[in-house]
Amino acid sequence: MREWSEIVEDVQTNWWIYAAMPFVAGLIGYFTKLVAIRMMFRPHQYKGIRPFGWQGIIPRRAAQMVEVLCETLTGRLVSTQDIVSKVDGKELAKRIDRPLRKEIARIVPLVAEEYQPAMWRMLPGPAQDLVVQRAQDTAVELVPKLVKKIQKNIDDVFDLQEMVTAEFLSDPDILESMFLDVGKLEFQFIRRSGLMFGFFIGFLQAALWAATHSPFVMPVFGLFIGWFTDWAALRLIFNPKEPTKYLFGLITWQGLFLKHRISVSQEYGTLIASRVLTSERVVRSMFAGPSRQKMVDLVAPLIQDAMRDELTDIEKHVRREFGRLAPPELEELGVGELTFGSVLGVFSNAVSRPVRQAAGVGLDIAQVGPMAQTTAEEFVAVLPDLLSNSFEYLDDRLQIEALMSEKMAQMTPEQFEGVLRPAFQADEKTLIAVGAVLGFLVGELQVFLVEHLSR
């Protein structure tokens, strides 16, 4: 310990160094926070030679974090029923009417040529057109039934958590935005708190340096500033969960994340609604993702039932349509000099007998199932594109952002904390240790500069 007179003389001589110490300490606190936050997210891939290297905490722990986030998201905030229950099948059928008819006109000849080539080729062109038209009408009528069946069986054919997990893991920027956007006020507080805490600790540092001039003061205080400011900032973000009075009621404090829960809920809802649970992503995951085959198996029985009903009724329909035509009109349709009876005879031989067999007895019954399955596969494959012009309508119906905000506001403090807390908990000790090491190194640099600049 130095004499008082030495301390006074040193402070008077090097007053500008002592005056700078709180500011330098504040910069250490701020700098270590900037680096710590940066190290949470960067780099995405491991850089360096093991074990001397680094990968951002969020990318390195992405799988575990996404698992926790998705459990919160799909377990408490939104469910598959919340999504599909709001879709109006009739309205959807109207919106996709034209592109659906176009696709059916492509699918019907394709399936007919594969499973009933002789029958299809024997049909006159007008009869083929009538079959396609009936299939188009049936497909449009089938859309509301399909929507209802999906709504009823959605949990059996679609895994929302699997879909959300895949979306998060496929794009690291979504997970990063999730924490940076939702927690922007908290990260801002961490940086500012490092500056503030470091500044006040710098006065104590200056006093101890004046009293001892020990080369250990600067690095030890740098280590303490880096460690303490990280530790304190993390505690103040999440604790206490309820507003609590301190210093005889003069100060009231609540963890910032919980205090800002309204704005956090809005940010979280906006991000999920715009980057994860968009109608386009949901539709493509349902009909083109891992759930695709389950959807095909769900659709096929509907098509098979419709196919049986339509095929057994098709002769009556063609007879009715042809019966309305006069001989000149039959000439225009390409029937030529064939009589109406002979046209129906060809149609009856080609269609009615195997159709009746498929409806009840005979070998052709085996064809209806495969035809329906193939039709279902073709139909499910094109559904995402058919619905592309309806995504805006679906987004408006789903109201994911409003739903998320509403449900987050109803969460308990413990549940709400789980939205962002995993990012910090993943490697909280590592973050604090990094801050401490950086503070120590800056403290060593501080000693070097002070000893060479002081007189």
Question: By the 8 A CB rule, do 31 and 442 touch?
Answer: yes
Q: What is the mean pLDDT of residues 315-333?
A: 49
As a whole number of angstroms, the distance between CA 172 and CA 58 comes to: 9
- pLDDT at site 95: 92
pLDDT at position 389? 86
pLDDT, tens only, 156-177: 888 888 888 888 778 777 777 7
pLDDT reading at 455 higher than 60? no
Tell me: the pLDDT tens digits for 231-273?
Answer: 877 777 777 778 888 777 778 887 777 777 777 777 777 877 8
Kindly tell me the sign of the dihedral angle through the C-alpha atoms of 42, 43, 44, 49. Answer: negative
Which CA distances in Å does 167 have to 172, 323, 384? 9, 56, 17
Residue scoring higher pLDDT (16 or 363):
16
Instruction: Evaluate if residue 351 carries a pLDDT over 60.
Output: no
* pLDDT for the residue numbered 420: 61
Mean pLDDT (whole number) for 129-152: 89
Residue 424, pLDDT score: 59
One-letter amino acid at 335 equals: V
Angle of helix 15-41 relative to helix 428-453, nearest 10 degrees?
A: 150
Of the candidate ranges 29-33, 61-65, 311-315, 414-418, the one whose mean pLDDT is the lowest:
311-315
- Tell me, letter by letter, the H, E, C secondary structure of the chain: CCCHHHHHHHHHHCHHHHHHHHHHHHHHHHHHHHHHHHHHHCCCCCEEECCEEECCHHHHCHHHHHHHHHHHHHHHHCCHHHHHCCCCHHHHHHHCHHHHHHHHHHHHHHHHHHHCHHHHHHCCHHHHHHHHHHHHHHHHHHHHHHHHHHHHHHHHHCCHHHHHHHHHHHCHHHHHHHHHHHCHHHHHHHHHHHHHHHHHHHHHHHHHHHHHCCCCHHHHHHHHHHHHHHHHHHHHHHCCCCCEEECCCCEEECCHHHHCHHHHHHHHHHHHHHHHCCHHHHHHHHHHCCCHHHHHHHHHHHHHHHHHHHHHHHHHHHHHHHHCCCHHHHHHCCCCCCCHHHHHHHHHHHHHHHHHHHHCCCCCHHHHHHHHHHHHHHHHHHHHHHCHHHHHHHHHHHCHHHHHHHHHHCCCHHHHHCCCHHHHHCCHHHHHHHHHHHHHHHHHHHHHHHHHHCC
The confidence score (pLDDT) of residue 411 equals 77
pLDDT above 90: residue 425: no
Q: What is the average per-residue pLDDT within 367-378?
A: 87
Question: Which pTM was predicted?
Answer: 0.67
Q: Which amino acid does the sequence have at 295? A: M
Beta bridge partners of 252: 245
> How much of the chain exceeds pLDDT 70, in percent?
83
CA–CA dist 358, 319 (Å, integer): 20
What's the pLDDT score for residue 134? Answer: 86
pLDDT at residue 104 above 80? yes
What's the pLDDT tens digit per position in 206-227? 888 788 878 788 888 878 877 8
Tell me what pLDDT residue 356 has.
41
Instruction: State the pLDDT at residue 427.
Output: 61
Residue 309: pLDDT over 90: no
- Average pLDDT for 10-38: 81
Question: Looking at the predicted structure, is the pLDDT value of residue 451 above 60?
Answer: yes
The rounded mean pLDDT for the chain is: 77
Residue 313 has pLDDT above 70, yes or no: no
Q: Average pLDDT, stretch 361-365?
A: 38
Higher pLDDT, residue 332 or 11: 11
pLDDT (mean) for 139-152 = 91
**pLDDT value at position 331?**
47
pLDDT score of 103: 93
Contacts of 273 (CB under 8 A, 6+ apart): 395, 398, 400, 401, 404
